[in-house]
Amino acid sequence: MGRVLRSATVSLAAVSVLVTAGCGSDSQVTDIYSSGGWPAAHGDARNSDGSAVTGSRATSLAWSRPLGAPTSTHASIASTGQVFATTHSDNGCNLWSFQMESGRKRWCTRLGPGVSSSTPIVDRATNVYVGEDGAMNSFNEHGQLRWRTVVSGTPISAQFTGDGNLLFVTQFGIVSVLSPQTGKEIVPSYQLIPAPTVDQAENVPLPPAALGLDQCVTGSPACPVGGVPAIDLASGRFYLTVWRPGRPQADLVAMRYGDGALTEDWSSDAIPGGTTATPVLSADGTTVYVYDRSGALWALDAATGQPRWHHDLGFPAVGTPSVSPDGVIAAAGSGDGRLTGLRDRGDHAEVVWERKDLVQLGVPAQTAGGTGYTVVRDGTDRLAALTFDTATGATVDQDVLPGATGVSVGTSIGPDGEVLVSTLIGELFVLKP
């Protein structure tokens, strides 16, 4: 069995301060997320792959458009409906903005190639924040640069904190918190990977800012941190996976932001073989869900890192599980993987439904009203957007995505219930109620 290592730097008094630090003057968490859209890589601070919008059970294709290059991240959507996406373009634009209503391009720009690893995050003023090789950037809704802050490495998709600041981690394991207004550091950055000593660093050139990014998807020591942190906005605690030098596997790590600092809370190697997946928080913030590398879903106590249960899915999972506020966990794998619905029963996971009849090729998303969406194979070679009942798994609608091939890399939900699917080869499909 693995162990949990607790840091001695966090006292009970600090915990009290940290809880307060995540709140505003009226004891409420600051709502800087572009609520009503899909403002972050996995929809929200918890990485839930869910939306508070009530999903439609009858959709039809509104528009589609090619991006001109592959994409490997979700598209994000502001509460105004403005869409943002990044691509692996060798030339021309690699950060894009579109109108939800028509699919018309609003603007595009070219950043460093590392931008393709980052989903833009959107605030309530429709400012967007996105990383590139060696920097974090902010643009306004018209594509004008607001600020650019140099960092070590390439920021993976960011999150907002409970007090309204911008938190992100580079693939080198540098954790930063910046002001969304100025781009300046709010607290000193934190190094999850120990910095080299003076003797070790002597005459050694700085590594390229994009080093190891191509290893982040599959999980490798070359990309120590390749996922998006999951944040409990009320407490300031956040979770990520870290592959430290010399370790045989990547561990799940809990940190806290508050009291003027970033501190490490616990580190767990309890998952056999480790995990390089992006963690997900339950709606009440008490449980962390994460896939291991062999096809099991794990639930760990968010406060201590102790495992509560693990469930063998029977297939390698992709993306992150979608975890709804009412406790439905929608897990999926691509190709041979099944779309599966589970519930957390405290000491075990209960399978409530399985769709063995589907060829699953997407990342599930859930909405209010008990409706979910994913991408499946329709016939021999076509892709289709599947609408399903999250309580039973039953199909309630299915729409062919004309010309779509390969797999989907993300399902995002718009402010009026639009369903946006992005495919690996670089196409956007939007279905509307």
Q: What pLDDT, in 10s, does the model give residues 273-291?
A: 888 889 999 999 999 999 9
Asked if 344 contacts 323 with a C-beta cutoff of 8 angstroms, the reply is: no
Reply yes or no on whether the pLDDT at 352 is more than 80: yes
120-144 average pLDDT score: 97
Q: For the chain, what is the mean pLDDT?
A: 90
- The Cα–Cα gap between 29 and 32 comes to 9
Region of residue 235 (left: phi > 0; alpha: psi -120 to 50; beta: else)? alpha
Question: CA 79, CA 38: separation in Å to the nearest integer?
Answer: 8
Query: Is the pLDDT assigned to residue 199 strictly greater than 80?
Result: no
pLDDT higher than 50, residue 202: yes
More confident residue, 276 or 324: 324
| Contact between residue 328 and residue 343 where contact means Cβ atoms under 8 Å apart | yes
Among the ranges given (30-34, 109-113, 124-128, 308-312), the one the predictor scored with the smallest mean pLDDT:
30-34
Residue 422 has pLDDT above 90, yes or no: yes
Residue 345, pLDDT above cutoff 90: yes
Give residue 4's pLDDT.
52
Q: How many C-beta neighbours within 10 Å does residue 64 have?
A: 17
**What is the residue-wise DSSP string for 361-404?**
-S--EEEETTEEEEEEEETTTEEEEEEEETTT--EEEEEEETT-
The two tokens of residue 425 are 């080869």
Closest CA to 142 of 111, 78, 97: 97
pLDDT over 90 percentage in the chain:
75
Residue 196 pLDDT more than 70? Answer: no
Q: Which residues pair with 130 in a beta bridge?
A: 137
The contacts of residue 423 (CB under 8 Å, 6+ apart) are 71, 383, 401, 404, 405, 406, 407, 408, 409, 429
Considering only 257-266, 333-342, 390-399, which range has the smallest mean pLDDT? 333-342
pLDDT at residue number 336:
73
Domain ranges of the chain: 30-197+211-432
Predicted confidence at residue 22, as pLDDT, reads: 40
345: which 2 tokens? 């029963």
Summarize pLDDT for 111-121 with one digit per residue, the tens.
Answer: 999 999 999 99
**pLDDT the model gives residue 333:** 82
Average pLDDT over residues 107-128: 96
**pLDDT exceeds cutoff 50 at 13:** no
For the domain made up of 30-197+211-432, the CATH class stated in words is mainly beta
pLDDT range class, residue 28, cuts 50, 70, 90: low
CA distances from 421 to 66, 165, 365, 369 (A): 12, 29, 11, 20
Indicate whether 20 pLDDT > 60. no
Residue 215's pLDDT band, with cuts at 50, 70 and 90, is: confident
**Structure confidence at residue 213 (pLDDT):** 84
pLDDT at 334: 72
Which residues does 420 contact at the CB level (< 8 Å), separation at least 6? 38, 75, 77, 83, 411, 412, 413, 414, 428, 429, 430
395-405 tens-digit pLDDT: 999 999 999 99
- The answer on pLDDT for 170 being more than 60 is yes
pLDDT band of residue 235 (cuts 50, 70, 90) is very high
Q: Which tokens belong to 121?
A: 């995050």
Q: Are 87 and 426 in contact (CB under 8 A)?
A: yes
Measured distance CA(418)–CA(408) in Å, rounded: 16
- Give Cβ neighbours of residue 233 (< 8 Å, ≥ 6 apart): 22, 29, 45, 161, 162
Backbone angles phi, psi at 296, to 5 degrees: -120, 145
Look at residue 84 and give its three-state secondary structure.
Answer: strand
As given in the structure block, the two tokens for residue 179 are 């002001």
pTM confidence score: 0.90
Of 200-204, 290-294, 296-300, 410-414, the range with the lowest mean pLDDT is 200-204
- Terminal-to-terminal C-alpha distance of the chain: 49
Instruction: Supply 143's token pair.
Output: 């594509």
Max intra-chain CA distance, the chain: 64
Confidence of residue 212 (pLDDT cuts 50, 70, 90): confident
Average of per-residue pLDDT across 93-111:
97
Give the pLDDT band (50/70/90) at residue 318. Answer: confident
3-state secondary structure of 115: helix
Would you state the pLDDT for residue 315?
86
**Edge-to-edge, what's the strand order for the sheet holding 261-268?**
4-6, 261-268, 251-258, 237-242, 230-231
